[in-house]
Amino acid sequence: MWRWFLFCWVLSTTLFLLTGCASSQPVDSRPVATHTEDDRATATPAPAATPPNAAVHNPDPTNTPAPIVTPEIAPSPEPVARTSDVVTESDCCGLLDWIDSDHLLVFDQPTGREDGSYVIDLFSGRASLVSQGFGIPSPSGMIAMLEPGTSDLVIRDIDGEQLASIETNGQPAWPSPDGTVVAWLEPLPVRVPSSSVNRQVQLKVSDVAGTEVRAVAELQSQEIRWLPDNQRIVTIGRGRDFQSPGIWLIDTDTNEITVLHEETFVRSLELSPDGSHVAFMRLFNDDPADNGVFVLNIETGDLQYAFETGPYRWDADGQHLWRLQMGATGVEADQLVRFDPSTGSVVEVIDLDGQVLNEQWALSPDGEKVAFWRYEDGMVVVQALR
């Protein structure tokens, strides 16, 4: 179980950097952890429901479960290896995200240079300091940064130039795919009875200039995902009075909320690149067949079983899921397994150049590369997938 505490430590380090509540210096020492599949699983977000003054639509008022398709499992192909490159120094920070398929945002402590967020140009290998904080990038090239010494959100471009600042009371913000809007979850002045309960928040949106800030909804939630239309958001949500827990779709223009899937214990929400499906994990159901990773069609409500468990990300094609298969500590490299949820078959298996620490891994938008924080030396590695 102590691997759980290591995950919490990394999560708290991330929040330190994103909220600006800590020093700009990232923690440079970490416990040595046993690398096991059970303990390296992601933290379970507490179930997060119908905000006041918001229209909520449940597409299935009879509460009849959507059809679940369980495909046949096909034999797995042999694993293959791909080349990789190291992009940070050892024993650093593990904070990473793709801006686009050629540029990676990482937090690093390079020798002889300032600690902070660097944009790595994967063609030239050049690392450019853009901020002493860390933030969430948009495919447009804009990065929503939280920086030390200010509660404002700082909007920067890929070169680090400041474009604007927005008062978010120290909360991180998610920029829309086109970089024109940002959204954040601002805590309400309500006491949370337990750390296992999601905080009560107000979803706010603003143009990137910070001139048009408005509240959209009040709910319990921890994070959000923008759909490609730059208007709708999907989240694991729940009303302030704990009603309608599950997968929510929120229209930031109309404030309408649609409950796509109502269920108490869900976590690990991943939106497909085209915005048509979400993958998530179902937990603690009486019937074991109702637990595991499922894929939900946002438009039809069809629910399909994918696989039992494990960290996962969408492939760039929006049709396949990559699952992280963990190897034995210090013995076997981790693997990425590419699944076709529609058939339940394994399409491809890639041997990684090491083991992934605390599930810090991300696929490039074009699906050609994976970046991950390597367990053996604390470096961020970029490895080719194709």
Q: What is the mean pLDDT of the chain?
A: 83
Write the CATH number for 178: 2.130.10.10
Give the mean model confidence (pLDDT) for residues 292-315: 95
What pLDDT, on the 0 to 100 scale, is given for residue 77? 65
Quick check: 43 pLDDT over 50? no
- At residue 329 the predicted structure's pLDDT band, cuts being 50, 70 and 90, is confident
| Predicted model pTM | 0.78
Q: Which residue has the higher pLDDT, 40 or 255?
A: 255
> How many domains does the chain contain in total?
1
d(CA 264, CA 282): 9
Position 72 pLDDT exceeds 70: no
What is the distance in angstroms between the CA of the first residue and the CA of the last residue of the chain? 36
Higher pLDDT, 175 or 63: 175
Q: Is the pLDDT of residue 106 over 90?
A: yes
Q: For the segment 338-357, what is each residue's pLDDT rounded down to a tens digit?
A: 999 989 899 999 999 999 99
pLDDT band at 328 (very low <50, low <70, confident <90, very high): confident
Query: What is the percentage of the chain residues whose pLDDT exceeds 70?
Result: 77
Rounded CA separation 356/335 (Å): 9
Residue 28: band (very low, low, confident or very high) from pLDDT cuts 50, 70, 90: very low
Domain that holds residue 321: 2-384
Pairing label, strands 127-131, 134-137: unpaired
Checking if the pLDDT of 115 tops 50, the result is yes
Paired tokens of 358: 């605390």
Return the structure tokens found at 330.
């210090």
Q: What is the pLDDT of residues 204-215, one digit of tens each?
A: 999 999 999 999
pLDDT score recorded for residue 290:
92
Confidence of residue 194 (pLDDT cuts 50, 70, 90): low
pLDDT above 90 for 201: yes
For residue 90, name the pLDDT band (cuts at 50, 70, 90): confident
Judged against a pLDDT cut of 80, whether residue 80 lies above it is answered with no
pLDDT of 30 reads 30
Q: Which tokens is 270 given?
A: 């991943």
